[in-house]
Each structure stands twice: as C-alpha cells, then as structure tokens.
Amino acid sequence: MNGAGPLAGLRVLEVGHILAGPYATMLLADLGARVTKVEPPGGDLSRQVSDAYFASLNRGKRSIRVDLATPEGQEALHGLVQDADALLVNLKPSAVRRFGLTYEALKSVNERLVCVTVTGWGMDAGDEPAFDYVVQAATGVAALTGDPDGPPMLPGYSSADNSAGLAAALGLLAQVVSGRGGQIDVSLRDVMLSQLNYHASAWLNDAHAPRRLGGAHAYYVPAQIFPTGEGHLALFITHDRFWRAFATEAGIEGHATMAERAADRDGVVAAVTKALAADTASGWEARLRPLRVPAAAVRTLPEALAAAPDAVVEAGRFRLVAGPFRGAELPTRYGSPPGLGEHGDLTSR
C-alpha cells in the first residue's frame, strides 16, 4: 500500500526470485514499508511467467537493477545497505554467500542491518533444489494429502512458498523490533515441519503415525468434505454442541460425544453422507449457517472471489487479491508493481 502505514519508515531491500521472498516483502509493503527490489539485469524470474503473476507478488515496491556479480554491483549494494533496515534474500545458499548477502558480509557496512535468508533446506544444507512441491513431498505434507487408497497429492497452490514468506516477514520484524542487527535463517523445510505441529507431536510423543484420511481431520469427526445431492460440502464439527445442532437438522441419532464419534469414524461418515444426499451443498450451507454449524459449500476460486468483492483491490492496472490485514488504522491504497529498473539502473555505471 502507498502512504502511511504501521511499517512506514521501515526500509527493506529484497534480492530474490519468484515467490517466497517476494511474497514476504509484498506483505511488508502492504503495511507501509519502503521495499526496494534489487533485481539482476534480466529481472526477477517471475517477470517471465506473466505480468499478472509478477504483479501478484510485487505490488507497491520499487525496482533497481544491479548486477551483484560485478565489483560495481557490490559497491551499489553496499550503498543501498547503508540506509536499509533489513535485507531479505531468496536465493540458494551458495549464491547468497557469493553475492555477499549475509549479515557477516554486510555488518561492517551497517551493523544494525537485519538479514533474512529464505532457502529450501537452510543455509547450511547445500544447494539441493528445493521448490515448493519438492519440499511438500519431503516433509510429509504430500503423504497426508489425498484419498487413503490413492496416491499422495499436493494442494492446488504453493503452500510451502507462501507459508515461508509469512514466516520470513515475521522473523524479519521480530529482529527489527529487537533493535539489533543479525541473521535470520528461514527454510521451507522448517516451516512446513512446523506447520505439521500436532501430527508431529502425536508421533514424537505417542508413536502415533499420521495417516492419509482423504482430507478428513485426524481428530475431529465429522470434519471433511462430503458429497451432497448436488455439489460438495465442507463440514467441520469439533465439539458436541455443533454435533447436536447438525444431527438434529440432518435427522441423525447417536454419537453424542466427541470420543464416540472418533471411535466410530466410519459409521459417522456413512451416516452423514447418507443424510447430506437429501439436499444440495448450497442448501445445507443455508440451513446450517443460522445454527452456527461450521459448514460451507465448495466453491471455485472465481465463485469465492465473486462472493468476497472486498478482497479484490486495484494496484495500478492490475486487479489483485488484497493483503490479509484489516484494520481502521491501515492504509487502503495499493501501489503498482514496478517496472524493471524503474527506480534506478545501476548496471550501466
């Protein structure tokens, strides 16, 4: 966003490509930070995907072209670092070190600089390729996703990259708030393992290995997607009050407690599936919402955006999804994504 914001005055440099790092700094820009993309001569690789793709990760930023592989580029980097509060880098570890993008390499230039690296496996794990889907496979996420009798599956969006971006933005702000410079190392692997929190705890403490449940929750029953007479319905019943309200509306008897439902998962799922066949997904949503039962018809993204017009914003010539932050004190005007080198081309010095 342009103008004032809670992060107004925070000066952030970004060096990286595609998704995790740029998403992190875009969130900071949305909140008022002055974010400058330090792009190589050919630009962020996401520019090669499409203009709309690039815009979805880079609105509200500045762009400066710098060839970090040259002595002139290194001189330009140090000049930028002198006035920066933080540097966020999304490159493989060898490139981070080769271009001198660590706190150790830059603290003589700016001792209070906060340096954040976003890598696949961590700065000490080498350069093994680590894209979003690879990390999801390696950390157990894919093994938990899909039908029990089918193959492992992946969600339809880049959950590891986006989650790492959120973590990196939080880590950066935490170190800035401390008032000290330093190095923060964020890896996609660590982020995804962290997000498997209760599954990991069940295994580490009770030797209970998680299993694929077709998207159903491991502990709550019924909490999954069900077919209906037309369309699919997501039902998420946790405590007993929700069950009583739903069961009364659906005409289901028994399984009054959470423990009883968990012990007879197959029986509960069969009873719910049979009952839901009597109406459409939208019909059930309309019936259950007034009862405060957590349920929603499965929508496509176009349908979801149509149902949430306040989540769509203008950023220059692009229509984009708004940031996840809401509040009366937050700015509401989003800046355009920058053209390559729009705010300075230091490759020709």
- Residues with a known catalytic role: 161
The tokens 């330009």 sit on which residue? 76
Say if CB 161 and CB 146 are below 8 A apart: no
Length of the chain: 349
Collapsed DSSP state (helix, strand, coil) of residue 280: coil
Q: Where are the beta strands (DSSP E) in 244-289?
A: none
Instruction: Please report, in angstroms and rounded to a whole number, the separation of the first and last CA atoms in the chain.
Output: 31
Count of C-beta atoms within a 10 Å radius of residue 181: 18
- The continuous run of DSSP H or E covering 276 comes out as helix 265-276
Say if CB 279 and CB 228 are below 8 A apart: yes
Say if CB 235 and CB 222 are below 8 A apart: yes
The order of strands in the sheet holding 11-16 is: 62-65, 34-39, 11-16, 86-90, 114-119, 182-187
